[in-house]
Structure 1
Amino acid sequence: MIDEQPEGERLQKVLAAAGVASRRVVEQYIVAGRIRVNGRVVTELGTRIDPENDRVEVDGTPVQLDADKRYLMLNKPKGVVSTMSDENGRPDLARYAEQAGERVYNVGRLDAETTGLLVLTNDGELAHVLAHPSYGIEKTYLATVRGVVKPEALRRLRAGVDLDDGPIAADRVRVIGEPSGGRTIVEVTLHSGRNRIVRRMLAEVGHPVIELVRRQFGPLHLGSLGAGRMRDLTKVEVGALLALARDAAADAAPPTTKQEPR
């Protein structure tokens, strides 16, 4: 809760330390009513908060106040397994965690032959929401497949195909560009986290995957980040992830029921 006592920290000082803006600019945000603390708009410059427990939003976007939390984007190369330690001696994610200088872990997995966007973080609460299938975080892949993909195959993917572990449908799917050399590039968006799901879906409709890259994870885009390269997420990207996790958790929460008076 908002702390009106002297032992709390001034809101503008906390947000300036979190990298939102200078203290002077944050003060302007406060007066303009652009900041919420625990869901309530605050306009008093003397407002003090508890950074460890209070939730702060600027223009509706959550702000991470804990400077010890790290959020990184990795373009995972082909051949690297999505684990911090591989018992078979294959290349793993340990080298990237060492580069981060923090004890970070991967959010979800990509199979060894799939490249692309992987999030590393030490924020366990956020990682749980982003990785758990019940929260339905969308991921977008570009798949180079064998054959010329016809509209009927796309319709089947949208309607759903039956796999060994149950039916699955793409949220969105489309062909990118014109087929070339007996190959087609297909963009697939879905929220399932089942093992090798994109590869299995495309194989089911007769188009085995040759190459697969994850380009998007929730609000994050891989952009021009090179294979094997890693970077910290921006403040805007972190805020978008926190907002996504907040909204996903709220949507997944069971509805509360009122008790009838006895």
Structure 2
Amino acid sequence: MSMSGDPFAEPEGVRLQKVMAAAGVASRRVSEQMIAEGRVTVNGELVTEPGRRIDPETDLVAVDGQAVQLDTSKRYLMLNKPRGIVSSMNDERGRPDLRTYTDAFEERLFNVGRLDAETSGLLVLTNDGDLAHVLAHPSFGVSKTYVAKVLGAVSAQTIQRLKNGVELEDGTTSADAARVLAAGSGASDGSSLVELTLHSGKNRIVRRMLAAVGHPVIDLVRRQFGPLHLGTLRSGAVRELTREELGALLTIARSGGEAASAATPEAPRTRGGRSAR
């Protein structure tokens, strides 16, 4: 940040503790204490003097390693998307879309990634284009966890196959983690519940993987997106992300932005810009 040569000119930038207070981190007094305790960084550099001035529009602040959003005009919501809703703000075929949940907000919100119409669960809505772009970058995937109700009894061998990698028409994709939550033999309809975690964002990847191992999906719910958990949020409900959730998401997005800018294509794990579903 350049400084004026005029000794009587006002210093450029805004005091760090004032910026932190405006961002809702803590009061100015507590923010000063956090800075003095060495808990705050600016652009990755440790700052211990409360008088430090920064540019809130360009400088990146973190507290205890968690990113802080300084732009209070940005909004971040979690939606538990019901089945039958299209992940679009204006569906060309006139089907129910996400405007049902965004029209009540002044900001022009959009979804981060997609869930197909028949998949329910966690979807992030925001007006932060930078965050959405990084989280959807082809070379950087956020882990997503799904619970799928599938036909048949899923064996331990099938779970291992999902972890090792399933050959599909567009390449091999493996799950980061997989486990059976409820075995098929005990269900009246012969179904099983399977939990699957993966990074791939290929179109309908969870459904295609499970169908390829002989267990077509009956119902699919996304329970987790990166550090975000659906928890007890009811179907069709929307809530603001907590400060802790937002900090965790922004921290991942910032590290992802650095990785994406220097990324090279990698295999065998598939990664994609569209969210798995």
**Into which bin does the TM-score normalised by the smaller protein fall?**
over 0.9
Partner of 1:208: 216
Give the superposed CA RMSD. 1.6
Partner of 1:237: 245
- d(CA) in 2 for partners of 1:132 and 1:45? 36
Does residue 194 (structure 1) correspond to residue 202 (structure 2)? The answer is: yes
Amino acid corresponding to residue 36 of structure 1 in structure 2? T
Q: Structure 1 pair 106/6, CA: closer, same or farther in 2 (3 Å)? A: same
From 1, 9, 24, give the equivalent of 2:14: 9
Do the aligned residues in 2 keep the contact of 1:107 with 1:119 (CA within 8 Å)?
yes
Does residue 171 (structure 1) correspond to residue 195 (structure 2)? The answer is: no
Q: Describe the SS at the equivalent of 2:88.
A: coil
Partner of 2:192: 184
* 1:114-159 deviation line (CA, Å, top 9, x unaligned): 0000001111111011122310211000000011001121121111
Partner of 1:226: 234
- d(CA) in 1 for partners of 2:167 and 2:78? 33
* Higher mean displacement: 112-121 or 4-13: 4-13
Q: Describe the SS at the equivalent of 2:103.
A: helix
Q: CA deviation at 1:247?
A: 1.9
* 1:210-257 deviation line (CA, Å, top 9, x unaligned): 1100000011000000100001111111111111112223334438xx
* Higher mean displacement: 70-79 or 7-16: 7-16
Identity of aligned residues (%): 64
Partner of 2:66: 61
Amino acid corresponding to residue 48 of structure 2 in structure 1? T
From 60, 81, 86, give the equivalent of 2:86: 81
Partner of 1:254: 262
Q: Describe the SS at the equivalent of 2:100.
A: helix
Q: Describe the SS at the equivalent of 2:139.
A: helix
Question: Structure 2 unaligned runs (5+)?
Answer: 5-9, 264-277
Question: Structure 1 unaligned runs (5+)?
Answer: 256-262
Amino acid corresponding to residue 250 of structure 2 in structure 1? L
Q: CA deviation at 1:54?
A: 0.9
Question: Given the two structures, how large is their TM-score scaled by the length of structure 1?
Answer: 0.93
* 1:185-220 deviation line (CA, Å, top 9, x unaligned): 000001111111101110111111111000000110
Q: Describe the SS at the equivalent of 1:100.
A: coil
- d(CA) in 1 for partners of 2:162 and 2:43? 42
- d(CA) in 2 for partners of 1:234 and 1:160? 35
Do the aligned residues in 1 keep the contact of 2:88 with 2:98 (CA within 8 Å)?
yes
Do the aligned residues in 2 keep the contact of 1:117 with 1:215 (CA within 8 Å)?
yes
Q: CA deviation at 1:2?
A: 9.0
Partner of 1:259: none
Do the aligned residues in 1 keep the contact of 2:153 with 2:183 (CA within 8 Å)?
no
Q: Structure 1 pair 170/2, CA: closer, same or farther in 2 (3 Å)? A: farther
- d(CA) in 2 for partners of 1:13 and 1:64? 14
Q: CA deviation at 1:56?
A: 0.7
Do the aligned residues in 2 keep the contact of 1:3 with 1:50 (CA within 8 Å)?
no
Q: CA deviation at 1:178?
A: 3.6
Do the aligned residues in 2 keep the contact of 1:133 with 1:191 (CA within 8 Å)?
no
Does residue 137 (structure 1) correspond to residue 145 (structure 2)? The answer is: no
Do the aligned residues in 2 keep the contact of 1:142 with 1:215 (CA within 8 Å)?
yes
* Higher mean displacement: 218-227 or 6-15: 6-15
Do the aligned residues in 2 keep the contact of 1:140 with 1:217 (CA within 8 Å)?
yes
- d(CA) in 1 for partners of 2:127 and 2:3? 28
- d(CA) in 2 for partners of 1:222 and 1:235? 16
* Higher mean displacement: 95-104 or 75-84: 95-104
